[in-house]
A and B are shown apart, each in its own frame.
Chain A
Amino acid sequence: MARYVTSKFLYTLLSLFILITATFFLMKAIPGDPFMSEKEVPAPIRARLEAQYGLDKPEIVQYVNYLGNILQGDLGISMKKLNQDVGHIIGQTFGVSLRLGLVAVVVSVIVGVGLGLLAALYHRKLIDNVTMVLAVLGMSVPSFVLASLLQYLLAFRLDLFHVTGLKGPLDYVLPVAALSAQPIAFIARLTRSSMLEVLHADYVKTAKAKGLKWPAILWKHVIRNGILPIVTYVGPMTANVITGSVVVERIFGIGGIGKVYVDSINNRDYTLIMGITLFYGIILMAARFITDIVYVLVDPRIKLTSGKEG
Chain B
Amino acid sequence: MANNNLTNKQPIPTLTAADFQPVDINQRESEAIKRESLSAWRDTWERLRSNKVAMGALIALFVIVLASLIGPVISHWVHGYNYKSNDLLATNQKPSGTHWFGTDDLGRDMFVRTWMGARISLTIGLAAALIDLLIGVIYGGIMGYFGGRVDTVMNKFSEILYAIPYLLVTILLLVVFKPSLGTIILALTITGWINMSWIVRGEILKLKSREYVLASRSMGAGTGRLLFRHLLPNASGPIIVTLTLSVPSAIFAESFLSFLGLGVQAPISSLGSMVENALTGWMYYPWRMLFPAVLISLIMLAFTLLGDGLRDALDPSLKNK
Contact = CB atoms under 8 A, between A and B. Distances in A.
Give yes or no for direct A-B contact (beta carbon below 8 Å).
yes
Interface of A: 11-12, 14-15, 18-19, 22-23, 26-27, 29-30, 123, 136-137, 139-142, 144-145, 148-149, 152, 156, 163, 193, 196-197, 239, 243, 246-247, 250-251, 261-262, 265-266, 268, 270, 273, 277, 280-281, 284-285, 288
B60 to A, nearest CB: 12
A247 B256 contact: yes
Contacts of A265: 171, 175, 260-262
B235 interface: no
Given A11-B160, A142-B296, A246-B260, A148 B282 contact: yes
Interface in B281-308: 282-283, 286, 289, 293, 296-297, 300-301, 304-305, 308
Contact of B300 (A142, A149, A277): A142
Contact of B260 (A27, A196, A239, A262): A262
Contact of B283 (A14, A139, A152, A193): A152
Interface of B: 156, 159-161, 163-165, 167-169, 171-173, 175-176, 248, 252, 255-256, 259-262, 275-276, 279, 282-283, 286, 289, 293, 296-297, 300-301, 304-305, 308, 320-321
Nearest to A194: B321
Contacts of B300: 139-142
A285 B165 contact: yes
B168 A266 contact: no
Contacts, number: 120
Contacts of B297: 140-142, 145
Given A27-B176, A145-B275, A156-B283, A15 B163 contact: yes
B126 to A, nearest CB: 17
Contacts of A145: 275, 293, 296-297
A182 to B, nearest CB: 10
A26 to B, nearest CB: 5
Contacts of B171: 265, 273, 277
B164 A19 contact: yes
B305 A148 contact: no
Contact of A277 (B159, B172, B301, B320): B172
Nearest to A277: B168
A136 B304 contact: yes
A142 B255 contact: yes
Given A145-B296, A247-B256, A22 B169 contact: yes
B148 to A, nearest CB: 13
Contact of B163 (A11, A29, A270): A11
A193 B320 contact: yes
A11 B159 contact: yes
21 contacts: A12-B163, A15-B160, A15-B161, A22-B172, A26-B175, A29-B176, A123-B320, A136-B301, A142-B296, A144-B259, A144-B276, A145-B296, A148-B282, A148-B293, A152-B286, A193-B321, A243-B256, A246-B260, A250-B279, A262-B260, A265-B171
A214 to B, nearest CB: 22
A228 B175 CA distance: 39
Nearest to B172: A26
